[in-house]
Structure 1
Amino acid sequence: MAFTRATGKHRRPSRPSLVTRTTVRAAGVAALATSGVVGSLAAPALAAESAVERTGLTPVISIGESLAEQIDAQAAAQEQAAEKAAAEKRALAAAQKEAEERVKEAREAKARAAREAERKRLTSYVAPIAGSYISTGYKAGGAVWSSGSHTGVDFHAASGTTVQAVGSGIVVEAGWGGSYGNNIVIKMIDGTYTQYGHLSSINVTVGQTVTPGQQIGLSGATGNVTGAHLHFEARTTQEYGSDISPVAYLRSHGVNV
């Protein structure tokens, strides 16, 4: 009896050809490239042929985890860089604000100092003629004075010498004053009055505000005089006869004469 080879479903399947295996591997590599994995990472997968055959998709999963770790690290680095930049920006803004505050404080301090200096200047007193001296004292006797005594003091001054307000006040008289000649009377900020007589010229008007050291006229020899000088009086009122010691008055306001 003759024996024949069995056919159909009992036939042993043939082993995949080299071409088939190569094609599968190539397709796998192409899939990795398409999914974003760089070509340099695909080369080790090709070299590990036996690992591919044994484990299938395991190398692809390993590569994916490694790439995810790199992306996470890059994201973390970017986040840190962003936080650092934000911190630097905040620090710069804070420094600028602090600098602006210092400038503002310096300006305010300068303004306060200027206001204080001006306040002190306006409340200060000076001599009616700078660098002069008293030639005739207060209450000096003699027939030359109608009251029998000198109601003020005389400051030595050649004709045309600058006469200045001894302090801040308002001019209440500016013009001819009889025996005083051309004279000026100022109501001072402390409520007292000062008078400047025998002037050769007057540079202020009634109602005008004056400040310490401001020129109000020039010395001369007008009125009842024997020579050029400045007659200066201090009074409690605007009227004649309310005179007080001019030297004591000036000294009480810090002026040494």
Structure 2
Amino acid sequence: MAFGSTPAGSGKHRGGSRLSRKTAGYAGIAALATTGVVGAVAAPAFAADNTQHAIPDAGYNAVVVADDLAGEIQNQAASQQRAAEHAAAQAQAEAEAKQRAAEAKRLAEAKAKAERDAAERAAREEERKRLNTFVAPVDGSYVSTQYHAGGGMWSSGSHTGIDFHAAEGTSVHAVGAGTVVEAGWGGAYGNNVVIKHNDGTYTQYGHMLSLSVSVGDKVTAGQQIGRSGSTGNSSGPHLHFEARTGEQYGSDIDPLAYLRSHNVSL
């Protein structure tokens, strides 16, 4: 009996041991579950469950990271676009400023040129007027002896000029701008002056008391060249005035017509 009871006893012991281990395993799992470390010592079935839950978590994190990276790239692209637009706007502003400056410079240069041209035209006109302005040789006077008047007083038999009434010492003026080609004693003309004018004609002033110019002097219309008198072949104080086509005696032309052709009223 004792022999036959041994296997039974032994079988009960083994069966009890298996149940005890299984119960202990469950208890251990429960205990580990309460401590939060069940995943570390769980049975393969539980470990498999934890692995299946981790895969979706990793995919979600990857999506989040990808979304963040895409957002960062978009932000950088937007920032670069804004920088490019700012640089383009600044370049355009600088180009427009340069264009405005160039236009302002062009307008200023054009204005300066116009002013210079106007000044030059005014100067030329003034010079033209100066060169073409003629006056009477004696202010407020009149012709006392006409051109080509006859008589024995003149070696040619007629008067080669006109006489202006003028008391001794009266100021005598150049009738127009020109150069003095003779100044001094002129024989029958007494103290005389001959002027070559810019149009190529000549005028002569005779019988003067004194002279105030010399050969080579440049004179202007109305400039004093001497004072009237009665020197040379003269019957009394007056101014003998001649207009000529040449410097020498015998090239005389009508003095009144000459002065009137230069807008001198007598």
Q: Secondary structure at the match of 1:167?
A: coil
Q: Secondary structure at the match of 2:47?
A: coil
Task: Give the match for residue 248 of structure 1.
Answer: 257
Q: 2:64 aligned with 1:56, yes or no?
A: yes
Q: 2:133 aligned with 1:98, yes or no?
A: no
Letter of the aligned partner of 2:63 in structure 1?
A: T
Task: Give the match for residue 184 of structure 1.
Answer: 193
Q: 2:225 aligned with 1:216, yes or no?
A: yes
Q: Following the alignment from structure 2 to structure 1, what is the Cα–Cα distance between the partners of residues 246 and 144?
A: 25
Letter of the aligned partner of 1:185 in structure 2?
A: V
Q: 2:117 aligned with 1:82, yes or no?
A: no
Task: Give the match for residue 47 of structure 2.
Answer: 12
Q: Mapping of 1:1-257 within 5 angstroms? A: 1=15, 2=18, 3-4=21-22, 5=25, 10=44, 12=47, 53=61, 55-57=63-65, 58-257=67-266
Q: Cα–Cα, structure 1 residues 52 and 114, in superposed 2: closer, same or farther, change >3 Å?
A: farther
Task: Give the match for residue 43 of structure 1.
Answer: none
Deviation at 1:147, TM superposition (A): 4.1
Q: Cα–Cα, structure 1 residues 243 and 14, in superposed 2: closer, same or farther, change >3 Å?
A: same
Q: Following the alignment from structure 1 to structure 2, what is the Cα–Cα distance between the partners of residues 242 and 99?
A: 55
- Please tell me the root mean square deviation across aligned C-alpha atoms, in Å: 3.2
Deviation at 1:183, TM superposition (A): 0.6
1:165-196: per-residue Cα shift (whole Å, max 9, x none)? 22343323211123322111223344433210
Deviation at 1:122, TM superposition (A): 1.8
Q: Secondary structure at the match of 1:128?
A: coil
Gaps of 5+ in 2: 1-14, 30-40, 51-58
Q: Following the alignment from structure 1 to structure 2, what is the Cα–Cα distance between the partners of residues 53 and 117?
A: 96
Q: Following the alignment from structure 2 to structure 1, what is the Cα–Cα distance between the partners of residues 213 and 226?
A: 7
Question: What TM-score results when the alignment is normalised by the length of structure 1?
Answer: 0.72
Question: What TM-score results when the alignment is normalised by the length of structure 2?
Answer: 0.70
Q: Following the alignment from structure 1 to structure 2, what is the Cα–Cα distance between the partners of residues 76 and 97?
A: 31
Q: Following the alignment from structure 1 to structure 2, what is the Cα–Cα distance between the partners of residues 82 and 238?
A: 75
Q: Cα–Cα, structure 1 residues 115 and 167, in superposed 2: closer, same or farther, change >3 Å?
A: same
Q: Which has the higher Rg, Structure 1 or Structure 2?
A: 2
Greater helix share, structure number: 2
Task: Give the match for residue 36 of structure 1.
Answer: none
Q: Secondary structure at the match of 2:214?
A: coil
Q: Secondary structure at the match of 2:243?
A: strand
Deviation at 1:138, TM superposition (A): 1.6
Preserved CA contact (<8 Å) 2:131 2:198? no
Q: Cα–Cα, structure 1 residues 187 and 66, in superposed 2: closer, same or farther, change >3 Å?
A: closer
Q: Secondary structure at the match of 1:154?
A: strand
Preserved CA contact (<8 Å) 2:132 2:262? no
Deviation at 1:240, TM superposition (A): 3.1
